[in-house]
Structure 1
Amino acid sequence: MRHAQDRTFTTHDGVELFYRHWPATDATPGEPRKAVLLFHRGHEHSGRIAHLVDELDLAGVDFFAWDARGHGQSPGARGDSPSFATSARDVQTFCDHLASTHGIDEENIAVVAQSVGAVVVATWVHDYAPRIRSLVLASPAFKVKLYVPFARPGLALMRKVRGNFFVNSYVKARFLSHDPQRVASYDQDPLITKSISVTVLLGLYEAAERVVADAQAIQVPTQLLISGADFVVHRKPQEQFFERLGSVDKEKHILPGFFHDTLGEQHRAPAVASMRRFILQNFARPLNRPSLLEADRLGATCAEAETLARSLPRNSLRDLYWRMTRASLGLGSRLSAGVKLGFATGFDSGSTLDYVYRNQATGLSPVGRMIDRNYLDSIGWRGIRQRKVHLEELLRLAMGWLREQQREVRIVDIAAGHGRYILEAMQGVTPLPESILLRDYSDINVRDGSALINDKGLDGIARFVKGDAFDRQSLATLTPRPTLAVVSGLYELFADNERVAGSLAGLADAVEPGGYLIYTGQPWHPQLELIARALTSHRDGQAWVMRRRSQAEMDQLVQAAGFRKVTQRVDEWGIFSVSVAQRVQ
């Protein structure tokens, strides 16, 4: 038996999470260290999955298993987390910790996760596109069997009224496993919590629906274990997830008679043997991911965008619905300042984004302001404002890295809109950057952005000029040569990868080696059809049809240009990501 070392790591918000580490007992000298990460199911903790270390019998591999927030020996209200997205980010922070503390790179990690832990991990893989070696998901809780009619909307309504509260699990231990010892230990373990917060439960549902719907974005080799007699979660979403998986190498194993605690079942040896074989096979092969550089011409998001661009059959129910939606928006534009501005300049224009950033409802009469507030509170615009928060955070972080390297901070934003997020990120920064160059193709943005520079008192170091973000030559010859380049909210508006690649290549020529690139992505959006059928673009008032890029696709484009991704942020809905990459020497 291997013996665990008890350790902790610090999350992004300062929480010390507990984890166990089982060092390798027979590592090959000179080879990179490899690791298997184990993620327990809901209500439980790392001790409940520790038996897999010996059962998998991988002597040359380190094993790690954490106690999630609010579980086991980790702090926090039992069964709670600030949000489901926070838990997914914790996984990324854990991997960053393993790299910095234990010298284990993401490329040498395999992951095994069960139930709620499997959904957390699947969300992380979807949203962050980590370059891990393989993924094993056991009975992922994509849809929990609540058994009470309208339980989910009822819980959501109660949370609005009461705030966050906790519900107890109805599941008895005897319905989790056939193993008598496992059942007895579940009932006697003081570290097991039977409660779960409604915030986590509802977040679980929302994240699961998104990940199942967009599983094509996941490229990691994946093995799915489905319990054949699961009383806790529904099987259909698990099957849908597997069918839609974008992984070239994927396996599905249905385990007859298994209860929900798949990895703790009485006769689990064949399942463990399949896991071991899958993990070893993927460790033995070089890391390989399909190229997504031509995903604009072939694949799921290409087809999705083409479907949204097609006209609907005249007078069909959907056609009538969207015509009514457009008419209601047109009526709303007479009262709401935000909707009016969207129709006037484009809902994707710099002027509209600056209005969304200010987040002040205005309009004619209280009714107009109410319409405007509803418009500003749409999930897409909430995501845009969170993207601004992440942009400002990562701008300050990258500037700090440059200062630590005793390098000048010379910023360029190639499609800045009004430049508000850049200029407001400078508040409280000492010393200020040596230079800030803002560019945009719109004369309106150049005019209003220049006024904002003056208003912020930054005209001594900042200037705004007209420029084409897709002109590779003009980007390559930027003066002064930037050490920190920013491209935000631009590439999401253009489906063509060749055009994006040319822009990134120009930035690669411009940015000094060791300098940084901050770039945004839009891997998911729940309102794509609304945007395409009812809103207009700044480009001659055309329909605003967007092609989503998965995080993996966006990262590949950046890597192909000569940058190495360093860190990432994503909003709680998984809509907008902000990443930092470093120019390879």
Structure 2
Amino acid sequence: MYNNTQQYFNSHDGASLFYQAWRNHKQPVKQAIILLHRGHEHSGRMSHLVNELDLPDYDFFALDARGHGKSPGQRGDAPSFSACVQDLQYFVQHIQKKYAISSENIAVIGQSVGAVIAATWVHDYAPKLRALCLASPAFEIKLYVPFAKSGLNLLSQVRGNFFIQSYVKAKMLTHDEERAKSYERDPLIAKAISVRMLLGLSAAAERVVDDAKNIYVPTQVLCSGSDFVVEQQPQRQFYARLAHPQKEFHVLEGFFHDTLGEKNRELAIAKIRRFIQQCFAQPYQAPQLLNADKIGASCAQAERLSTDLPKHSVKDWFWKLTKGNLKLGSRWSEALKIGEDTGYDSGSTLDFVYRNQTESQHLLGKVIDHQYLNAIGWKGIRVRKQHIEQLLAKYAKRLQDDQQSVKILDIAAGHGRYILDAIAQLKTPPSSALLRDYSDLNVAAGELLIEQRGLEKIAKFELGDAFNRDELAAIEPKANLAVVSGLYELFADNDALRQSLQGLNLAMEQGGYLIYTGQIWHPQQEFIARALTSHREGQAWVMRLRSQAEMDALVEQAGFSKVDQCIDEFGIFTVSVAKKL
């Protein structure tokens, strides 16, 4: 019934990754199931599910993760865990384009590490997915040596990346003796894993379990009851925090870790089959997130952080002391002085972060600057800048390949350093670049940068309100490559974003591209709210984190369709591209 082919596709960094396809050319509706293997294994170890699931109306696709099976890369390694998640994003895009199967008609089945990759992808990229089935997700691996993770972390800082061998024997994975034997004989199985992959997996899993409330896909979790490899508790926590009402959690008593390769796997497979069939029995429904600023988890969290703590409480004293220390440190540290004077979210602060140099004269100030610049949030900001540069170059070239002159617009450029750096890297300069900002200080600093770089013939900086719909709509010339970076994350109100996005749509040519950023998670949200001031007259910097699904919904409502996305390895800042419909 199925025609099996083995193929390759080009991922985000040009790597050619291997996958298998099982296609039923007689199926009336194009719909598909993607299979993601566990760590150390490959797509061939999932191939038995194609027939065992008994879902003849679906095409099946199975990917060899990089560093596994027939995909390239050192065995058990990858540039980062987030690179593997982005591989899945590009794999789905490949399936959509080559086989004309929309994401709304795709279900994903992931096992162990593959399940964590799938869950992270759904959280970070917010695909319009029909169903997600996770078998024994490796949210927390059982490391039987005390303090093993902290030790590996410390050792990796000294030695760099290195490999450790898996302690897991085949008989600990499944009661199916034939499958266990085939595991031991399989030449494509790599039993080593790199430390950066192991630590990246752990960090991503911890983040996704903590923030599972921002996963808006029908999800089924199958937990093996006698699993020697991964812990049960994080799987339960993940399930409890899932937002979608269509969710299931099943404990398969006596099952070892290879849930979908167990001796009695028909019990697990029957549950997956039923779940997928029921999810496809009704039309795809997008999550209702356009009013998430007024009701829901992110609204409640921002409200909590905006509320003053009880006077003289331990927490109140702690945060007052923290703020006092920052104020004191600003006497010596240029980083803290800029933050205290202009706001830690100001264009001046971001320009300092982009320069990424200790600029204090005092030795103590230099030490503070160094620690400040290496905070995880500022690291993510600099990666965000790199992603903007990459995507701007990619879509500028796409426009030029279509014989269009590139007209760039940035509606809240700050000092403009990041956008001018991006323009400088373009092989063919744009015909125009209009930079705008609300602040006279930022406009003056931006004009100076334009002059210093000799870009006066191309670039122009002007005062402007990024939330004024009519003002944006009147911009000339109409842009075909617009950027809004680091702005929407600072404002909780979705009505303001709607005005801005509608104005941007009117300021752009048909078929133009919008590059927009998001902040979907932050490990220091309370510290920022309680200790740091914003650019708005010294008010507290309280962030309402928007899920990627919410941000994409707002962009879509304004008349755009998302076509691309990047995210830093910390899982904080996203950079997305949408096309004007």
- TM-score, normalising length: structure 1: 0.97
**Contact map agreement 1:113 1:121 (CA 8 A) in 2:** yes
- Deviations 1:331-390, CA, capped at 9 Å, x for gaps: 221111111101000110011101110111111322211110110111100111111111
User: 1:63 — aligned with what?
Assistant: 60
Q: Which runs of 5+ in 1 are unaligned?
A: none
Quote the Cα distance in structure 2 between the aligned partners of 1:214 and 1:578. Answer: 19
**Contact map agreement 1:2 1:54 (CA 8 A) in 2:** no
Pairing partner for 1:524 from 509, 521, 524: 521
**Contact map agreement 2:20 2:63 (CA 8 A) in 1:** yes
User: 1:469 — aligned with what?
Assistant: 466
- Deviations 1:203-225, CA, capped at 9 Å, x for gaps: 11100010001001110111111
- The alignment yields a C-alpha RMSD, in angstroms, of 1.3
- C-alpha displacement of 1:87: 0.6
User: 2:24 — aligned with what?
Assistant: 24
> What SS does the corresponding residue of 1:329 show, helix, strand or coil?
helix
- C-alpha displacement of 1:180: 1.2
- Deviations 1:426-480, CA, capped at 9 Å, x for gaps: 2243432221111111110011011111111111121111111111110111111
Quote the Cα distance in structure 1 between the aligned partners of 2:424 and 2:467. Answer: 30
Q: Which runs of 5+ in 2 are unaligned?
A: none
Residue correspondence of structure 1 range 344-363 to structure 2 within 5 A: 344-363=341-360
Residue correspondence of structure 1 range 321-340 to structure 2 within 5 A: 321-340=318-337
> What SS does the corresponding residue of 1:546 show, helix, strand or coil?
coil
- AA at the equivalent of 1:484: L
Quote the Cα distance in structure 2 between the aligned partners of 1:457 and 1:58. Answer: 62
> What SS does the corresponding residue of 2:121 show, helix, strand or coil?
helix
- C-alpha displacement of 1:326: 1.5
- C-alpha displacement of 1:512: 1.4
Pairing partner for 2:551 from 550, 554, 570: 554
Q: Does 1:165 align with 2:165?
A: no
Moved more, 308-317 or 116-125: 308-317
> What SS does the corresponding residue of 1:137 show, helix, strand or coil?
strand
User: 1:246 — aligned with what?
Assistant: 243
Quote the Cα distance in structure 2 between the aligned partners of 1:428 and 1:504. Answer: 27
Pairing partner for 2:177 from 165, 180, 188: 180
**Contact map agreement 2:139 2:205 (CA 8 A) in 1:** yes
User: 1:441 — aligned with what?
Assistant: 438
Residue correspondence of structure 1 range 18-417 to structure 2 within 5 A: 18-24=18-24, 26-28=26-28, 31=29, 33-417=30-414
- C-alpha displacement of 1:44: 0.9
**Contact map agreement 2:393 2:425 (CA 8 A) in 1:** no
User: 2:561 — aligned with what?
Assistant: 564
**Contact map agreement 1:26 1:59 (CA 8 A) in 2:** no
**Pair 1:484–1:145, CA change in 2 (3 A):** same
**Contact map agreement 1:525 1:575 (CA 8 A) in 2:** yes
Give identity over the alignment, percent. 59
Quote the Cα distance in structure 2 between the aligned partners of 1:102 and 1:150. Answer: 47
Query: Runs in 1 of length 4+ with deviation above 6 angstroms?
Result: none
> What SS does the corresponding residue of 2:433 show, helix, strand or coil?
strand
**Contact map agreement 2:18 2:63 (CA 8 A) in 1:** yes
User: 2:5 — aligned with what?
Assistant: 5
**Contact map agreement 1:79 1:195 (CA 8 A) in 2:** yes
**Contact map agreement 2:333 2:362 (CA 8 A) in 1:** no
- AA at the equivalent of 2:23: P
Quote the Cα distance in structure 1 between the aligned partners of 2:428 and 2:265. Answer: 60
Tell me the matched-pair count.
581
- Deviations 1:305-334, CA, capped at 9 Å, x for gaps: 111111222333322322222222122211
**Contact map agreement 1:25 1:60 (CA 8 A) in 2:** no
- AA at the equivalent of 2:10: T
- AA at the equivalent of 1:535: L
Quote the Cα distance in structure 2 between the aligned partners of 1:332 and 1:380. Answer: 19
Quote the Cα distance in structure 1 between the aligned partners of 2:526 and 2:39. Answer: 35
Quote the Cα distance in structure 2 between the aligned partners of 1:48 and 1:412. Answer: 49
Quote the Cα distance in structure 1 between the aligned partners of 2:483 and 2:231. Answer: 43
- AA at the equivalent of 2:56: A
Quote the Cα distance in structure 1 between the aligned partners of 2:392 and 2:245. Answer: 36
- C-alpha displacement of 1:105: 2.3
> What SS does the corresponding residue of 1:483 show, helix, strand or coil?
strand
Moved more, 115-124 or 321-330: 321-330
Quote the Cα distance in structure 2 between the aligned partners of 1:123 and 1:175. Answer: 26
> What SS does the corresponding residue of 1:253 show, helix, strand or coil?
strand
> What SS does the corresponding residue of 2:562 show, helix, strand or coil?
strand
- TM-score, normalising length: structure 2: 0.98
User: 1:544 — aligned with what?
Assistant: 541
- C-alpha displacement of 1:144: 0.6
**Contact map agreement 1:25 1:59 (CA 8 A) in 2:** no
> What SS does the corresponding residue of 1:7 show, helix, strand or coil?
strand
> What SS does the corresponding residue of 1:457 show, helix, strand or coil?
coil
- AA at the equivalent of 1:284: A
Pairing partner for 1:576 from 569, 573, 576: 573
- AA at the equivalent of 2:35: L
- AA at the equivalent of 1:215: A
